[in-house]
Amino acid sequence: MFPATTFKGKTVAVFGLARSGTATIEALQLGGATVHAWDDSAPSVEKGRAAGLPISNLHQLDFATLDALVLSPGVPLTHPEPHWTVLKARHAGIEVIGDTEIFAREAAAAGSRIVAITGTNGKSTTTALTGHVLAQAGLDVDVGGNIGKAVFLLRQPVKGRVYVLELSSFQIDLMPRLDPHVGILTNITPDHLDRHGTMENYAAVKSRIFASQHKGDTALCGVDDDWCSAIAERTVATGSDLRRVSVVKDLSDGITAHDGVLRDKRSGAVKAEIDLRAMPALKGRHNWQNACMAYGAAIALGVDTETIAAAMMSFPGLAHRMQQVGRVGAIAFINDSKATNADAAEKALASFENIYWIAGGIAKAGGIEPLQPLFGHVARAYLIGQAAKDFANTIGAALPYEDCGTLEHAVVAALRDAQRETKPGAVILLSPACASFDQYPNFEVRGDAFVKAVSLLPGSEMTIPGDAHAART
């Protein structure tokens, strides 16, 4: 925790008493601001009052006495209708901001730099990978925002420190002065329309990652969807160094990895290449895009290509997202427990060959029928949980399967078969295409159980620790 000195002497209302809200309250008070805190949840208000927070009923407060309203990103700003505090703030003519906006002002005042990352998909892995590459290059870096730590739980901004921040559309909506040294937009597909109203509004919010950039800044924009392509065209006018990114097209100017080889091109000339196909935690086109974005950010911050390539090779991946957790001989174990539906599991099945696939749990609508075109990548399936019978019916005679019941049994059975069949590049993949709630409280606990089961196998060499707590961190 550190003081938010840019609000010294100001009076601020903070609405929302969850983790980021309470951290912001403390930071503002440490920095010399007067704070009025409130929440629509009576238990949260009472908990905050018991913790000594400066509780004030914002219904009764004259907002004309305030300099700003700090709103939790989980609270509606515009759709389906503005929150009542937002209406009061607008009537009083005060700014409505979020904790990330205050943090960005602190970073700017201290001479720190921000790499801001947003997009519908891929932003968490891109954030983690960028932070890893920069740390491996010896930069003073912190990672947080919408992933990991709330911003005021990071280290205090100092000159030269780099903050790699994942930003949701909700957070960007509360950042009127967002001006990152490096801005990254991965892609845009329909999402959060209940909070933004239309795709046009949603895309407009995402585009603000670049809107206030200026000469000397870098904008990395995916161009594999129409929304982002249009944003890239508009971003040319900001004066930042715009780098288009594609894993579908072979760009003549930009960063591309359409064939798994990252190529940095300027006016048709290849300036650098990194072969991503051998990177253990960067399988599949979605991860190639993440790698292109991380590469562009690192280059913008002065890191050389060789250092970037070595760091990518050592990247462990995000926990529970196509994360290689260990090996037994040549057989790799992949934890993709976050794949709680068929769409998510599709990425993993498309990224490997000779898969010994562990699937099951509580199935979503449609089950695994959309995955049938990828059954050719699967050597055998090992079914667990409530969905086992339905999944067996879908698989039919397409490939061999075994109803294992439990995850632990499935891990042992999959290794037995993979060792016997000795297929090249074999992987044992937990990508359940299901929710976990029949056997585990959440996908994290399920993934931790997979890691532990792998660690107990004879001859296992773990990429990450086998105990559950270490696997989560």
Per-residue pLDDT tens digits for 351-369 = 999 999 999 999 988 999 9
β-sheet with 241-246: strand ranges across = 141-145, 162-166, 113-118, 182-185, 218-222, 241-246, 254-256, 261-266, 269-275
| Average pLDDT rounded to a whole number, residues 39-50 | 96
Concatenated DSSP letters for 23-49?
A: HHHHHHHHTT-EEEEE-S-HHHHHHHH
Start-to-end CA span in the chain (Å): 20
What is each CA distance from 374 to 355, 398, 431, in whole angstroms?
11, 11, 13
Q: Measured between alpha carbons, how far is residue 1 from residues 25, 33, 47 in Å? A: 11, 15, 20
Q: Do 290 and 156 reside in the same domain of the chain?
A: yes
Q: Are 165 and 151 in contact (CB under 8 A)?
A: yes
Mean pLDDT of 139-156: 94
Q: Does 281 share its domain with 404?
A: no
Residue 196 has pLDDT above 90, yes or no: no
271 and 146 together in one domain:
yes
Half-sphere exposure of 127 (CA within 13 A, CB side): 24
Q: Which pLDDT belongs to residue 1?
A: 85
C-beta separation of 173 from 209 below 8 A? no
Q: Can you point out the beta strands (E) in 136-217?
A: 141-145, 162-166, 182-185
Higher pLDDT, 341 or 115: 115
Tell me: do 113 and 36 sit in the same domain: no
41 plus 137 within the same structural domain: no
Q: What is the CATH number of the domain that holds 331?
A: 3.90.190.20
Of 69, 97, 125, the residue that ends a domain is 97
pLDDT at 428 > cutoff 50:
yes
Task: Check pLDDT > 90 for residue 317.
Answer: no
| Distance of alpha carbon 104 from alpha carbon 203, whole angstroms | 22
Q: Residue 311 pLDDT more than 90?
A: yes
Give the C-alpha separation, 179 to 167, whole Å.
Answer: 13
- Residue 306 confidence (pLDDT) above 80: yes
- Kindly list the distances between the CA atom of residue 338 and the CA atoms of 180, 347, 437, 445, in Å, as whole numbers in the listed order: 30, 12, 13, 10
Q: Would the pLDDT of 451 be above 80?
A: yes
Please tell me the distance from the alpha carbon of residue 377 to that of residue 349, in angstroms, as a whole number. 7
Is the confidence at residue 470, as pLDDT, over 50? no
Are 286 and 350 in a shared domain? Answer: no
Check whether residue 52 and residue 120 sit in a common domain: no
Provide the domain count of the chain: 3
pLDDT > 60? residue 472: no
pLDDT (average), residues 394-417: 98
- Residues 175, 253 within the same domain: yes
Find the mean pLDDT for residues 267-280: 94
Closest CA to 448 of 460, 465, 433, 461: 465
Q: Is the pLDDT of residue 469 over 50?
A: no
Burial environment of residue 51 by CB neighbours within 10 A (0 to 12, 13 to 18, 19 or more): exposed
What is residue 194's predicted lDDT score, i.e. its pLDDT?
79
pLDDT band at 275 (very low <50, low <70, confident <90, very high): very high
Which backbone phi and psi does 73 adopt, to 5 degrees? -65, -15
Among 97, 123, 157, residue at a domain's last position: 97
What is d(CA 438, CA 386) in angstroms, rounded to the nearest whole number?
7
Q: How confident is the model at residue 239 (pLDDT cuts 50, 70, 90)?
A: confident
333 and 308 housed in the same domain: no
Domain limit, last residue, from 60, 81, 97: 97
> Ranked by mean pLDDT, which of 70-84, 235-249, 301-315 comes out on top?
301-315
Tokens standing for residue 346: 């599709």
- The CATH number of the domain where 56 resides is what? 3.40.50.720
- Predicted local distance difference test score (pLDDT) of residue 463: 86
pTM (2 decimals)? 0.86
Tokens of 386: 């409530």
Distance CA 159, CA 140 (A): 10
CATH code of the domain covering residue 212: 3.40.1190.10
434: nearest Cα among 374, 385, 362: 362
- Token duo for residue 156: 């205090």
* Residue 159 CA neighbour count, 13 Å, CB half: 0
**Of 72-76, 332-336, 398-402, the least confident:** 72-76
465: preceding bond cis by omega (within 30 degrees): no
Domain that holds residue 178: 101-314
Q: Are residue 426 and residue 365 in the same domain, yes or no?
A: yes
CA dist., res. 46 & res. 304, Å (int): 52
**Are 391 and 327 within one domain?**
yes
User: How do 323-328 and 427-430 pair as beta strands?
Assistant: unpaired
How much is the mean pLDDT over the chain?
94
> Among residues of the chain, what percentage have pLDDT more than 90?
88
Query: How far apart, in Å, are the Cα atoms of 352 and each of 77, 339, 356, 368, 418?
Result: 42, 15, 10, 17, 14
The percent of residues in the chain predicted with pLDDT above 70, rounded, is: 98
Residues 298 and 359 in one domain: no
Q: pLDDT band for position 467 (50/70/90)?
A: low
